[in-house]
Amino acid sequence: MDFEDRHVVVTGGTGALGTAVVGRLLNSGAMCHVPNINASELTQYSHREDARVRLIGGVDLTSEQAVNQFYDELPELWASIHLAGGFAMAPISDTDAAAFTDQIDMNALTCFLCCHAAVRRIRNSIVSHEVSSNGGRLDGGRIVNVAARPALEPRLGAGMVAYTAAKAAVAAITQSLAEELAGENIWVNAVAPSILDTPVNRAAMPDADNSEWPKLDDVAETITFLASPENRTTRGGVIPVYGRS
């Protein structure tokens, strides 16, 4: 997959999955722009010294102003990958309005705001590229979101209704936006993981059979393809990445 000289945003790019995605993008020649709100993630971040990684601290992805400012300052944009989000599990009797809103904000609102800003920046990049290259065309763009298995199979969301609703909203945003942008060659897709094989999930579920969980590098490969110029046909997909689970 060739990302040579292409600018790519990766929200949540300092997390476990984000680190794997950024690594694959760098290996394919991309220039990565990674907003960060949790400074503690940066101390062990393996890509922090890479010259093609631009880390921007203090970006609140639930703030429309902050998101717009971040995207407006990008030199150009080919793809925007939205991995930022949050998880909470509780029965509805223990889920109040604040907890529900928190899940919506962390997952659905951040996805919407980043999609909104990314579309504007990709469109501007296409226009700027046409002018600077005397009629040459930047060939559209790509957006990749992250839903979750309960978004596709809501019955699996028992005991985590707020998270399930938020990720279902991400899936709906993805599919509706993909249709809206189809004529501009801006492909919008999402992946829907089951339980990812991360250190955090292993610690939280020590008795689970993690051999069946999807591996970070494999999920990162799917995301990277969906964001790549080589993806010429797939749009509006919410792609299951379940591994054997």
- pTM, two decimals, is 0.94
Q: Taking the alpha carbons of 119, 122, 124, 127 in that order, is the dihedral positive or negative?
A: negative
Structure tokens at 204: 């939280």
Model pLDDT, residue 41: 84
Determine the Cα–Cα distance for residues 33 and 54; give it in Å rounded to an integer: 5
- In tens, the pLDDT along 112-135 reads 999 999 999 999 998 876 555 444
Third-level CATH fold of 7-241: Rossmann fold (3.40.50)
Q: Which of 17, 26, 29, 172 is nearest to 82 (CA)?
A: 17
3-state secondary structure of 191: strand
* Contact (Cβ atoms closer than 8 angstroms) between residue 214 and residue 245: yes
Determine the Cα–Cα distance for residues 234 and 245; give it in Å rounded to an integer: 24
Structure tokens at 228: 């790549």
3-state secondary structure of 44: coil
- In tens, the pLDDT along 50-73 reads 999 999 999 999 999 999 999 999
- In tens, the pLDDT along 186-221 reads 999 999 999 998 888 888 888 888 898 999 999 999
Structure tokens at 154: 């809501």
